[in-house]
Amino acid sequence: MPRLAPVIREATPSDADLLLQLWAETTRTGEPDEQARRDAVQALANTAADPESKLLVAEGDDRIVAALFLSRGPISPLSLDSAVHTSYLVVAPSHRRHGYAHALMEAGVSWAEEKGVEQMSAFTDGSRETNRFLARLGLGTVATVRLASTAALRKKLSVERARSAAGSNRHLVEVLAQRRTARRRQAGA
């Protein structure tokens, strides 16, 4: 029996619970609390009101089984050219390899064409499967995105600053000492 084409539409605030369930299913996070639900409703309302972004959902088996966030923005801080940036591509494990991600990306390309945008980027969660899918579509790696809390980053920056103030070449001295020790051990073996 041939597969039916996925139904792709824009998410609405009323989709918040279904999207939170999808995220929990794909990221193996716990059940969202009431604050997370309120935040999701507000975030979806903000996205719906923003002409430069949208959250697309794919429906299958009478529920939301996949989603993709799109936003239009500059390619770089020094460029007037814009790109459609895709992120948070999620597909329920039971619905993978059924064309949902492909259909969402097609809808993203259509939106980019409507906006007159000639470039697209994709931010991923780092999963091998997602990266392979995007590579098959012709998207190449141009950057690595890393994430940390501001508190953790502040702490690490303070430690790094203190380390460099103690001696700018201290780390180099430690590395060279470790190499000498390793060479001595290797020569003795």
User: Given 3-state DSSP classes, what are the helix, strand and coil percentages for the chain, each rounded to the nearest 5?
Assistant: 50, 20, 30
- Given a contact cutoff of 8 angstroms between Cβ atoms, the answer to whether 136 and 97 are in contact is no
Contact 90, 123 (CB under 8 A): no
- pLDDT for residue 146: 84
Quick one: which H or E segment has residue 57? strand 53-60
The whole-number average pLDDT for the span 79-87 is 94
Sign of the four-CA dihedral 25, 26, 28, 34? negative
| pLDDT at res. 151 | 92
The whole-number pLDDT of residue 1 equals 42
Give the phi and the psi of residue 179 in degrees, each rounded to 5.
Answer: -65, -40
- pLDDT category of residue 176 using cuts at 50, 70 and 90: confident
CB 86 within 8 A of CB 70: yes
Span of 27-31, 40-44, 76-80 with lowest mean pLDDT: 27-31
Taking the chain, what is the end-to-end CA distance rounded to the nearest angstrom? 66
**Which of 97, 100, 88, 94 is CA-nearest to residue 127?**
88
Q: pTM here? A: 0.78
Stretch among 20-24, 71-75, 143-147 having the lowest mean pLDDT: 143-147
pLDDT at 155 over 70: yes
Burial of 22 by CB count in 10 Å (0-12 exposed, 13-18 middle, 19+ buried)? buried
Average pLDDT over residues 40-44: 96
How far apart (Å, rounded) are the C-alpha atoms in residues 92 and 22? 6
pLDDT at position 6 is 85
- Judged against a pLDDT cut of 70, whether residue 143 lies above it is answered with yes
Continuous segment of H or E residues that includes residue 134:
helix 128-136
